[in-house]
Amino acid sequence: MRSPHNDKSGSFSLYIVGESTAAGEPYAPGITLAALVRNLLREKIFCRSMLLADLSFYAEKRFPRLRIRTRYTYKYHLRRIVEMSLKSGLVPIIATVVANMSDIDPGLFPGEDVSRSNPHMPGMTRAEIVAVLEKGLAMEDSGRAGEAILYYSAQAGAHPKMRSYLEYRIGKCYQASGRYKEAGRIYQQVLDLSAFDNFPRATGRQNNFIRTLAKQYSIPLVDAVKIFEQHSPHGLLGNELFSDGCHPNITGYLLLANAYAGKIAEVFNEPVRKQWADPEDVFRFFSYGKDRQANALVTSGRYLFNIAAWHAWPAERLKMARAHFRGAIELDPDNFSAWMALGWTEIAMHSTLLSDKESLYWLLEHGLGAYHCGQYGFTPGQLEEVLGKLASYGPPESIAAEIPRSAALKQGLSPGKSGEYSLTRGQLLRILRKLYAVAGG
């Protein structure tokens, strides 16, 4: 952040450096972290977005060495950002990196689906992994948490490459037993094991480095991890403040915005003009209606659906995705993308859709595996093919009927939303007849 003291206009320049969380996913572009902070302070604040995702893309294309991403390159680049900021007369305010620790499971990928030479992989078949987990989960479901802890501990010794996942289940057992401190210790230990996964979460080492960096350069620190812990039940970071594994929900973003604004006020003696009362206060201020809130839930749900791919036990992530899609439908009952995503999620829950290579490639080729987007964007030909494919799997009847109905509304063939794609009336009616025939048996 650039100080206003030498600026006659009294304006701040606020530079936001980061990736998808800095951008405000899943609420961007309507609500961003920068906008939340800016509206807590003075009116004359200019936001300069410096999303590292964009910078990295262009830099890595030109300089292949930059494609190497390790803990050491992370430390190097973060230190360079701090030093460059100070040299340019900016005041860097850095923050620890929060993640959903208790309500999303770690990666677990069978040997037949990926390279057995990868040391992060269990090197076991899907059937072997499922057999180990089903026995322990049966103990959990029947309230035998202590017995399950002993079982998972023994299995972690027998299957060391499953250790991360089995320790996560131990953490869930401790949590269910009310032993919250032990559960928190286990969850952090699981993150620090850095098991291979479809999405990244910060380790304790990374956050300790950030805290050390702040002390070393005498710069302000927002300890987001501690702030989130203080506002989480029993100090366990979970779904209460997160939309998925690493992106905050709107309540989490309010915590971040208030913390940043408070730190700016402390450093620059700049009064905080207001506080966000609650999520509804934010949605009203940004004119973020129910349709946009539903789209944010679909975005998060699609993210969770995608990171369930190849997973040996995808049910945990798919259940979270399903809850998001149902939440979106409650907000916007005619949301075509929510119904479509719910249909595919129900299919994935009861089939090998996300573990079959050909099926996964088909999903990717037809735009069903995109990250950070809510609404599906199909060409007329793709829409017909995707709806036909969905029907062939036999989704639940209630969903199979709603998908074509919401598709019709999307195309403006019935009272409701205006169409978004150039599908002719004849094309869509042909699709609807086919799908209604399937739904009706």
Pairwise CA distance, residues 146 & 139, whole Å? 9
Q: Does residue 65 form part of some domain?
A: yes
Q: Is the peptide bond before 29 cis (omega within 30 degrees of 0)?
A: yes
Q: Are residues 66 and 211 located together in one domain of the fold?
A: yes
Q: Are residues 208 and 82 located together in one domain of the fold?
A: yes
Question: Domain range for residue 179?
Answer: 126-193
pLDDT confidence of residue 411: 57
pLDDT confidence of residue 414: 44
pLDDT confidence of residue 277: 87
Q: Does residue 405 form part of some domain?
A: yes
Q: Are residues 152 and 170 located together in one domain of the fold?
A: yes
Q: Classify residue 2 by its DSSP letter.
A: B
pLDDT confidence of residue 279: 95
Q: Are residues 280 and 301 located together in one domain of the fold?
A: no
Residue 356 sits in a domain whose CATH number is 1.25.40
Per the structure, the count of domains in the chain is 3
Q: Are residues 296 and 359 located together in one domain of the fold?
A: yes
Angle at 146 between CA 143 and CA 148, to 5 degrees: 75
Domain termination residue (choose one: 256, 285, 314): 285
Domain termination residue (choose one: 170, 193, 216): 193
Q: Which residues, given as ranges, of the chain have pLDDT below 50? A: 5-6, 48-61, 63-67, 115-118, 413-423, 436, 438-441
Q: Does residue 110 form part of some domain?
A: no
Query: 296 Cβ partners below 8 Å, 6+ apart?
Result: 26, 27, 243, 374
pLDDT confidence of residue 425: 52
Domain termination residue (choose one: 267, 285, 303): 285
pLDDT confidence of residue 123: 72
Q: Are residues 346 and 407 located together in one domain of the fold?
A: yes
Q: Are residues 81 and 97 located together in one domain of the fold?
A: yes
pLDDT confidence of residue 353: 95
Q: Does residue 113 form part of some domain?
A: no
Q: For tokens 């990171």, name the residue.
A: 307
Give the three-state DSSP class for 248: strand
Whole-angstrom CA distances from 51 to 15, 33, 96, 226 are 10, 12, 17, 24
pLDDT confidence of residue 8: 53
Q: Are residues 260 and 388 located together in one domain of the fold?
A: no
Q: Are residues 243 and 359 located together in one domain of the fold?
A: no
pLDDT confidence of residue 54: 44
Beta bridge partners of 84: none
Q: Does residue 120 form part of some domain?
A: no
Q: Does residue 245 form part of some domain?
A: yes
Q: Are residues 375 and 409 located together in one domain of the fold?
A: yes
Q: Give the tens place of pLDDT for each residue, 89-119.
A: 889 999 999 999 999 999 999 875 554 444 5
Residue 179 sits in a domain whose CATH number is 1.25.40.10
What H or E segment, with its residue span, contains residue 165? helix 163-176
Phi, psi of 113 (to 5 degrees): -95, -20
Q: Are residues 383 and 303 located together in one domain of the fold?
A: yes
